[in-house]
Structure 1
């Protein structure tokens, strides 16, 4: 199986990545009706020790030939709470002086069911309008999409949708972003994921602007001088990882990006911005937005784990425009976060096997593995067990599909070939939805195409065949205890965290946890589910003080499967 060839850099291409939103595409020129409206965003980090407490923001708006309406910011975004509440002192001015503002909340019809807090001018504005305010960094302790404005010793970062007030306007805009970095040490830099075409004077939708990442500070950067960056790949980090050098991680990121572009047969290198920051809430997390990704890591997270997460998020860039349901996007990303680096020689066979077994364990140990996938996707931010289904069950579906293709073709065709063919359909402007995917598989794997798809959708059990991963690995059955907290999972997914529905016979109760206990620390439930044998430590706030309670969240065993090394020597035959 061909793992792709080399490619050369070319002009900017439009990319949309991630499953949580659908950003508008860039526009190549202004409207014929007149000059495009324009926005200039000026950001000044507030001085702080060691981290900035927030930003001073000025948004200069030239609405062109239309009247300026309301400017908005989400009240919340799913689990990301108090977004608009962190904005203070909003004032608007135009050529005639200060403009009075009325503040209101719109309907809950936005991204992730969000409401917009709207600042509406109480008279018609004249010419360019400036809006000034301050915004504090997030101090929330509930994990969610990593869009929120956060800071640490080396800098500040976030997605524009969580701190930039923008007009409620569907037109295409010219956009400029400027930073005042006087609060940081000499040599501080800034990086954003604005497309090169926009930086060169082109236009974009405000929804695409909301989906832009911004970072500034004393950055680890690639290239070292971001002001002179001309290539398609740019990266920066404010993360603190004593175990390894962030600069080395950035270099590895560019290597992976170039090889993955070849693996997926990209005709040109897509523009790509990669940002890293420390995660104070969970061990790791990632989010892909148009042409960019943000990855976060705990201080003590091994480099191998952040590399795997990085590849996962990069894969979303190459899947741009394919079937948008999360089981498809996340399932393929779970498979290719280990398969693509393994086929390219970036990961060892041991590392590949560990990644495969992690997916298997996460799937078989989940008590919600039999729920319909549509219900799982609807409960993405309210039930961490449901949230894993698009990832682990989607991944299992594609692992099974890979095995079917290999078996039917005598090892000549794999999932890689099917995905590349699907990408070719997208480039040709042909349909690339789930129905087309299944229909494309039917000539090769017959009735299995529909049967496996129905198992994915309905919650049927998925088991890769014994030879699914080639001659170097063999299947073994083993009991896998399911992940079971022993109380309502929502107790740890909302603030305040209060234990509800405690089973008195559960390991948590036997360890001393009580109904109604208040929990002071965030728990990374996604990572915990991949290995229920790892203890959970809760900091329980009681009248007598804080009590630490540890327990192992294991329930009844489920007969699952994992793969181990066979007697076949490591070599090219293992890349199957």
Structure 2
């Protein structure tokens, strides 16, 4: 996890998009979505998206749920509104009722809905409701961005459909375009689950693009005015994506869209989905920072899985700087720094020995558990890399196993923990399986000296334990300081019990760097001010890696 990013891991395959009008058979029902953006007011930060969704082959009894919509996200001031919502089928208009839920809103039908269902509504987009996730619908410059689960209702059906996405841009100024995760303009997706719409991303308006004329699968899109070198960062990312596609043995380069939108609430955060990523930019966003984020997030295009964060996030951290270095896009010292920041956060984590089974229930509330599978997973893969190299006399590496898992996903075969364990067992036998079980049980992972290749060697040292200085384990929810520890750096910096605090930088990012100070915005007795301190406690044993000067860099990639 880099910065305040939240990675949404979606395992539904998107399928290849084809231009609208592709032939279909009667056995392939087609769901149609018509998107008409209008009433765009850049100054007010408001817009409306007129949505018409036509869904064939529905069979919903009276009193049952018709569809749902995600209407809230962290720190939103109010729900994402869907106005003037109507439903009809061959019998005419159907009366519906909403539970007005906050978070996930549901609608039920008062009579049976059968055959082709048409849903029409207006999605009202208002920047005044913006929250901390970059995927929240937002007006930026002369355009609008949003994610599927907030802009589109999700029909309550497990049927598979072709999906036709169509744009009506008559409500925008000339030159406007519409782009989604699936491609530019009108697209038709092959038969598949509707879950692929959940985190699909959409942008419309006066869209700027890099490269200006995409020649491969990569493109970056934005409608605002980022104050950093977008072209430079996206040119680097395009090269990185092309290298990754070759590395993971794609038959052809798949689509990948980066969407950029402004945020005053939480600049620097990003949300990942299959074949797409949205980054919120703002004060402090730099081209170098964007490159670091995308090195991690683009890996998810190939390695996402739903059987453990240790796998999907662990291998993304393992590769996030390694592949750019192997591609010749970053210097070796930057790669070494990335290794050491990951190791430092892992060994400084007081929950280092928590079993994997405890992570899911605490992931969103306890910062220690939020970062643990990222760091532990990365060092797990590094350790396996060394074990496989030694076992095969350097003829194989962890790359070979990961590529098999990627190929399974590409061929629509199950990508499961059992599939991974079968690979691991064939490669390393009980020794590999035993190491895997120990990792899941929470045993400290200490990669061998050569885990990252012969160019690097391991050193032992000390790192100070990360310690905010206050609160219990659920520190991610802290808004008022309590349980301040008198001997902590926070107390020495002047924080007090009862202070209202707002974190204006990523605590996860500060956790990763032992030398990074933390600034909190404090409100006390009607006065507001900032307090900056180094959130560290007692020293603990740690490991880091350095360049081995006896081995030429050319032999390590």
TM over 0.5: yes
Alignment correspondent of 2:45: 52
Instruction: Please report how far the alpha carbon of residue 191 of structure 1 lies from its aligned counterpart in structure 2 after TM superposition.
Output: 1.5
Output the CA distance in 1 between the equivalents of 2:380 and 2:233.
31
Q: How does 1:148-159 map to 2 (within 5 A)?
A: 148-153=136-141, 155-159=143-147
Alignment correspondent of 2:195: 207
Output the CA distance in 1 between the equivalents of 2:441 and 2:23.
46
Report if aligned partners of 1:93, 1:129 keep a CA contact under 8 Å in 2.
yes
State yes or no: 1:191 paired with 2:179.
yes
For 2:121, which of 132, 138, 145 is the aligned residue? 132
State yes or no: 1:464 paired with 2:420.
no
Instruction: Please report how far the alpha carbon of residue 323 of structure 1 lies from its aligned counterpart in structure 2 after TM superposition.
Output: 6.3
Relative distance call for 1:102 and 1:65 in structure 2 (3 A) is closer
Output the CA distance in 1 between the equivalents of 2:334 and 2:386.
20
SS in 2 for 1:216: strand
For 2:70, which of 69, 74, 78 is the aligned residue? 74
Report if aligned partners of 1:295, 1:309 keep a CA contact under 8 Å in 2.
no
Relative distance call for 1:42 and 1:415 in structure 2 (3 A) is same
For 1:348, which of 323, 331, 351 is the aligned residue? 331
Alignment correspondent of 2:259: 275
SS in 2 for 1:265: coil
Normalised by the length of structure 1, the TM-score is 0.82
Output the CA distance in 2 between the equivalents of 1:513 and 1:122.
56
For 1:41, which of 14, 35, 44 is the aligned residue? 35
Alignment correspondent of 1:178: 167
Relative distance call for 1:24 and 1:473 in structure 2 (3 A) is closer
Relative distance call for 1:56 and 1:103 in structure 2 (3 A) is same
For 1:234, which of 188, 195, 219 is the aligned residue? 219
For 2:106, which of 91, 98, 118 is the aligned residue? 118
Q: What stretches of structure 1 of length at least 5 have no aligned partner?
A: 1-17, 107-113
Relative distance call for 1:573 and 1:133 in structure 2 (3 A) is same
State yes or no: 1:256 paired with 2:256.
no
Alignment correspondent of 1:3: none
Output the CA distance in 1 between the equivalents of 2:299 and 2:241.
9
Spell out, residue by residue over 1:454-485, the C-alpha distance to the aligned partner (whole angstroms, 9 max, x if none). 23211111112123334433322221111111
Relative distance call for 1:34 and 1:468 in structure 2 (3 A) is closer
SS in 1 for 2:30: coil
SS in 2 for 1:175: strand
Spell out, residue by residue over 1:302-336, the C-alpha distance to the aligned partner (whole angstroms, 9 max, x if none). 3233213212121111125x563211011111111
Alignment correspondent of 1:371: 354
Number of aligned positions between the proteins: 540
Q: What stretches of structure 2 of length at least 5 have no aligned partner?
A: 1-6, 17-21
Alignment correspondent of 1:247: 231
Alignment correspondent of 2:479: 497
Report if aligned partners of 2:37, 2:204 keep a CA contact under 8 Å in 1.
no
Q: How does 1:397-476 map to 2 (within 5 A)?
A: 397-424=380-407, 432-442=415-425, 444-476=427-459
Output the CA distance in 1 between the equivalents of 2:188 and 2:256.
16
Q: When you count strand as a share of all residues, which structure comes out higher?
A: 2
Relative distance call for 1:444 and 1:239 in structure 2 (3 A) is farther
Q: How does 1:82-101 map to 2 (within 5 A)?
A: 85-87=79-81, 89-92=83-86, 101=96
SS in 1 for 2:451: coil
Report if aligned partners of 1:47, 1:183 keep a CA contact under 8 Å in 2.
no
Alignment correspondent of 1:338: 321
Spell out, residue by residue over 1:386-424, the C-alpha distance to the aligned partner (whole angstroms, 9 max, x if none). 111111110010011112222333333222223224444
Normalised by the length of structure 2, the TM-score is 0.85
Report if aligned partners of 1:240, 1:299 keep a CA contact under 8 Å in 2.
no
Report if aligned partners of 1:135, 1:163 keep a CA contact under 8 Å in 2.
no
SS in 2 for 1:363: helix
SS in 1 for 2:12: coil
For 1:218, which of 206, 212, 217 is the aligned residue? 206
Relative distance call for 1:299 and 1:406 in structure 2 (3 A) is farther
SS in 1 for 2:41: coil
Output the CA distance in 1 between the equivalents of 2:190 and 2:413.
28
Report if aligned partners of 2:60, 2:66 keep a CA contact under 8 Å in 1.
no
Instruction: Please report how far the alpha carbon of residue 498 of structure 1 lies from its aligned counterpart in structure 2 after TM superposition.
Output: 2.0
The CA RMSD over aligned residues, in Å, is 3.5
Output the CA distance in 2 between the equivalents of 1:354 and 1:453.
26
Output the CA distance in 2 between the equivalents of 1:130 and 1:385.
43
Spell out, residue by residue over 1:279-302, the C-alpha distance to the aligned partner (whole angstroms, 9 max, x if none). 545563333323322234454233
Spell out, residue by residue over 1:257-286, the C-alpha distance to the aligned partner (whole angstroms, 9 max, x if none). 221111111222223222233454556333
Instruction: Please report how far the alpha carbon of residue 40 of structure 1 lies from its aligned counterpart in structure 2 after TM superposition.
Output: 1.9
Report if aligned partners of 1:19, 1:324 keep a CA contact under 8 Å in 2.
no
SS in 1 for 2:537: strand
Relative distance call for 1:481 and 1:218 in structure 2 (3 A) is farther
Relative distance call for 1:450 and 1:247 in structure 2 (3 A) is same
Spell out, residue by residue over 1:200-234, the C-alpha distance to the aligned partner (whole angstroms, 9 max, x if none). 47455432222210122333313536xxx785333
For 2:270, which of 286, 290, 296 is the aligned residue? 286
Relative distance call for 1:122 and 1:431 in structure 2 (3 A) is closer
Output the CA distance in 2 between the equivalents of 1:167 and 1:133.
17
